[in-house]
C-alpha cells in the first residue's frame, strides 16, 4: 500500500527523508522560510513545495493523504528561548497544524517538538493541545525520546506526538531504543572527514576551496555563554545536540575537552588552540543523518547550520516512521 503523506514546517526535510526511507511518499510539503526553499527543492524533487505560511493555507488546498507530519516551530517552547509557549505567535502555529488535521482527517499524524514543552510552566498549554488532538478525532500517544537511542550519533531529546484516527482503534507503542552498546559515536560518523574541512570566508561566506560538499565551518569568536561549559565530545562519544545557531556548533572531537576554570567558566587547553574549531556544516549534517549527496544551498554558512539544527535527525525519523507503518498495516 502506498502511504501518501504531507509535511508542514518541513525545513530542509529531515523528517520527510526519514519517512521516505521507511517507504512513505511525501507528495506535498510546506515551508515558509525562503532561505530553505532552494535546498528543499533540490533534495526533494518529487515533492510539491507550498511556500506560504500555514496560517494562509486552506485545508482544501492540501492534497488527500494518509498522514500529516511536521514540527511546529519550537523556539517558543525551548528551554533556551523565551518560554512563552502557546502565547507566542510561533507557539500558536500548533493550532493551524490541528486545524488542517481536523479537516483532512488522515489516518495518522506526527508532531515533533522540543523537550522544553514538557516543562511544568507549559502544563496547561500541553493539556489544551492534548485535548484539541482528541477533539480533532485522534487517539494521542506521546513520549520524550532521545535520537541517540534510534540510530543518530547525538544526544537530542524531543517530545514526539503521534495520533491515530480514533475509528482505527490503533493501540500504538513507541519503538524500543537500541542497546547502549549499539549506539553510534562520533568516530562512526565523521572520522573519515577528519582533516578535510575548510574555514568559512570573511562574513561567513562559503569557501570554494572545499573538496567535500558543505564541508566548511563557521569562524569567529566564542561567546561567554558558549564558554560556560565543555563543548567537546570525544571520538568515542555521541555528539552534543546539533543546534540551529552555527556559533553554538559543538567543537570538533579532535580537540581536548575544555578545562573548568570557574563557576560556569571553561577555557580551551593551552597549546591546543588550533584544534578548537566548530564542527563543519557537513559534519553536523552527518550527525543529523543526512546523506553526503544532500546539498545545503546557502550564501552564508550560518544558514546551513540553521537548516540542519532545526531538522529532525533522519535515522530517528525513520525508526518512528517504520513503527507507524507497522501499526497501520496491523503487523506490529
Q: How high is the pLDDT of residue 109?
A: 97
Q: How high is the pLDDT of residue 117?
A: 65
Same domain, 151 and 203: no
**If you compute the radius of gyration of the chain from its CA atoms, what whole number of angstroms results?**
20
CATH number at residue 109: 3.40.50.150
pLDDT digits (tens, 9 = 90+) for 182-205: 999 999 999 999 999 999 999 999
What's the CA gap between 28 and 50, in Å, rounded? 7
Q: How high is the pLDDT of residue 95?
A: 80
Same domain, 278 and 192: yes
Between 164 and 80, where is the model more confident? 164
Q: How high is the pLDDT of residue 87?
A: 53
Query: What are phi and psi for residue 310, nearest 5 degrees?
Result: -85, -10
pLDDT digits (tens, 9 = 90+) for 238-290: 999 999 999 999 999 999 999 999 999 999 999 998 899 999 999 999 999 99
Quick one: the chain helix, strand, coil %, rounded to 5? 35, 20, 45
Same domain, 239 and 272: yes
List 12, 29, 62, 74, catalytic entry: 74
Same domain, 14 and 126: yes
Same domain, 66 and 169: yes
- 332 pLDDT band, cuts 50/70/90, is low
Same domain, 39 and 85: yes
pLDDT at 213 over 60: yes
pLDDT digits (tens, 9 = 90+) for 87-102: 545 556 778 888 999 9
Q: How high is the pLDDT of residue 114?
A: 62
Q: How high is the pLDDT of residue 75?
A: 47
Q: How high is the pLDDT of residue 129?
A: 77
Q: How high is the pLDDT of residue 120?
A: 74
Same domain, 250 and 150: no
Phi-psi region of 203 (alpha: psi -120 to 50; beta: other; left: phi over 0): left
Q: How high is the pLDDT of residue 70?
A: 94
74 catalytic? Reply is: yes
- 330 pLDDT band, cuts 50/70/90, is confident
What's the CA gap between 249 and 245, in Å, rounded? 7
Q: How high is the pLDDT of residue 77?
A: 43
Same domain, 51 and 157: yes
Q: Which residues pair with 7 in a beta bridge?
A: 29, 69
Count how many domains the chain has: 2
**Considering the chain, what percentage of its residues have pLDDT values greater than 70?**
91
CB-based contact 280:253 (threshold 8 Å): no
Same domain, 135 and 36: yes
Same domain, 225 and 147: no
pLDDT digits (tens, 9 = 90+) for 10-19: 999 999 999 9
CATH number at residue 266: 3.90.120.10
Same domain, 148 and 22: yes
Residues 6+ away with beta carbon under 8 Å from 314: 14, 17, 18, 21, 152, 288, 289, 290
- 79 pLDDT band, cuts 50/70/90, is very low
Residue 260 belongs to domain spanning: 186-309
Side-by-side strand order, sheet with 48-50: 48-50, 24-30, 3-8, 67-70, 108-114, 157-165, 138-146
Average pLDDT on 113-142 reads 80
Determine the angle formed by the axes of helices 93-104 and 123-135, rounding to 10 degrees. 20
Would the pTM count as exceeding 0.75? yes
pLDDT digits (tens, 9 = 90+) for 218-236: 999 999 999 999 999 999 9
pLDDT digits (tens, 9 = 90+) for 18-75: 999 999 999 999 999 999 999 999 999 999 999 999 999 999 999 999 999 998 764 4
Q: Give the pairing type, strands 24-30 and 3-8.
A: parallel
Between 204 and 121, where is the model more confident? 204
pLDDT digits (tens, 9 = 90+) for 162-172: 999 999 999 99
Q: How high is the pLDDT of residue 209?
A: 96
Write the DSSP assignment of 215-248 as a string of letters: -EE--S---TTGGGS--B--TTSPBPPPPS-GGG
pLDDT at 216 over 60: yes
Q: How high is the pLDDT of residue 15?
A: 98
What's the CA gap between 239 and 107, in Å, rounded? 35
Same domain, 218 and 254: yes
Amino acid at each position: 500500500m502506498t502511504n501518501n503523506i504531507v509535511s508542514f514546517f518541513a525545513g530542509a526535510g529531515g523528517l520527510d527523508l526519514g519517512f521516505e526511507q521507511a517507504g512513505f511518499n511525501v507528495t506535498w510539503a510546506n515551508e515558509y522560510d525562503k532561505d530553505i526553499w532552494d535546498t528543499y527543492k533540490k533534495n526533494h524533487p518529487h515533492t510539491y513545495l507550498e511556500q506560504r505560511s500555514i496560517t494562509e493555507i486552506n485545508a482544501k488546498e492540501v492534497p488527500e493523504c494518509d498522514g500529516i507530519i511536521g514540527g511546529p516551530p519550537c523556539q517558543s517552547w525551548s528551554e533556551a528561548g523565551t518560554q512563552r509557549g502557546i502565547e507566542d505567535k510561533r507557539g500558536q502555529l500548533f493550532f493551524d497544524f490541528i486545524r488542517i488535521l481536523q479537516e483532512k482527517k488522515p489516518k495518522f499524524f506526527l508532531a515533533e517538538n522540543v523537550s522544553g514543552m514538557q516543562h511544568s510552566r507549559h502544563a496547561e498549554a500541553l493539556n489544551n493541545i492534548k485535548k484539541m488532538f482528541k477533539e480533532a478525532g485522534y487517539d494521542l500517544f506521546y513520549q520524550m525520546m532521545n535520537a541517540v537511542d534510534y540510530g543518530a550519533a547525538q544526544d537530542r531529546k524531543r517530545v514526539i506526538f503521534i495520533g491515530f484516527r480514533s475509528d482505527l482503534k490503533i493501540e500504538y507503542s513507541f519503538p524500543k531504543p537500541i542497546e547502549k552498546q549499539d549506539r553510534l559515536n562520533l568516530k562512526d560518523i565523521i572520522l573519515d572527514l577528519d582533516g578535510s574541512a575548510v574555514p568559512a570566508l570573511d562574513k561567513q561566506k562559503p569557501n570554494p576551496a572545499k573538496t567535500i560538499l558543505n564541508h566548511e565551518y563557521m569562524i569567529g569568536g566564542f561567546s561567554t555563554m558558549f564558554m560556560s561549559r565543555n563543548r567537546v565530545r570525544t571520538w568515542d562519544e555521541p555528539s552534543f545536540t546539533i543546534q540551529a545557531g552555527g556559533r553554538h556548533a559543538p567543537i570538533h572531537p579532535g580537540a581536548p575537552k575544555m578545562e573548568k576554570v570557574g563557576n560556569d567558566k571553561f577555557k580551551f587547553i593551552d597549546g591546543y588552540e588550533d584544534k578548537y574549531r566548530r564542527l563543519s556544516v557537513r559534519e553536523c549534517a552527518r550527525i543529523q543523518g543526512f546523506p553526503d549527496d544532500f546539498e545545503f544551498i546557502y550564501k552564508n554558512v550560518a544558514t546551513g547550520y540553521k537548516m540542519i539544527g532545526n531538522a529532525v535527525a533522519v535515522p530517528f525519523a525513520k525508526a518512528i516512521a517504520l513503527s507507524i507503518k507497522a501499526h497501520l498495516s496491523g503487523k506490529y
